[in-house]
Amino acid sequence: MENDKIKKVSIICAKGGLDEVYPALILANGARMEGIEASIFFTFFGLNAIMKKMVKKLKVATVGNPSLNLAMPMMKFPITAPFPTWMGAIPGVSAMATGMMKKEMEDLDIPPVDEFLEMFTDAGGKIYACKLAMDMFKLTKDDLVNQVEDVLTVGQFYEKSAGASIIFT
């Protein structure tokens, strides 16, 4: 059943938090490691991950993030312990959560976002930015990291994604 294998994936990354960008990078890099053609299309707030000024400054959102209970074991609490939303508004809590996540990722030998982008493109992956989002946020290609191959319209993204499984993260 060789024909049933995935041959191409196009991943859409529309969120720009540190915890929201990694899934796209891990899926895309994993695809390349399996010999699958892969691209990532960064749109809306996902553009943070490919902006020169932001790529090293991504944060974990702590306000209104109901999934933070998953991070509780990092603080030696059970996974069932909820992370109170109001605590996320306390100055320094987002920085603490971001630092904890970066430390866990480092301990698992997962590279920081900027290095991950480079690894992905070095492995043959393609990175694209959404033209509409770029126009909306008044950005130019010069604002983006060097690994971005092109700025595409949605129609161009679909053309490049012909035959791909499209994954929205």
Left (φ > 0), alpha (ψ -120 to 50) or beta: where does 94 sit?
alpha
pLDDT in tens, 63-122: 777 777 666 666 676 667 667 777 778 888 888 888 888 888 898 999 999 999 999 999
Number of H helices, E strands in the chain: 5, 5
Q: Residue 2: pLDDT above 70?
A: no
Q: Give the pLDDT score at 147.
A: 98
Q: Quick one: which of 67, 68, 57 has its CA closest to 112?
A: 57
Q: Which residues are registered as beta bridge partners of 127?
A: 40, 148
What mean pLDDT comes out for the span 3-9? 87
pLDDT in tens, 114-131: 999 999 999 999 999 999
Domains, the chain, ranges and CATH?
A: 8-56+112-169 (3.40.1260.10), 62-110 (no CATH)
- What is the identity of the amino acid at 24? A
What mean pLDDT comes out for the span 155-162? 96
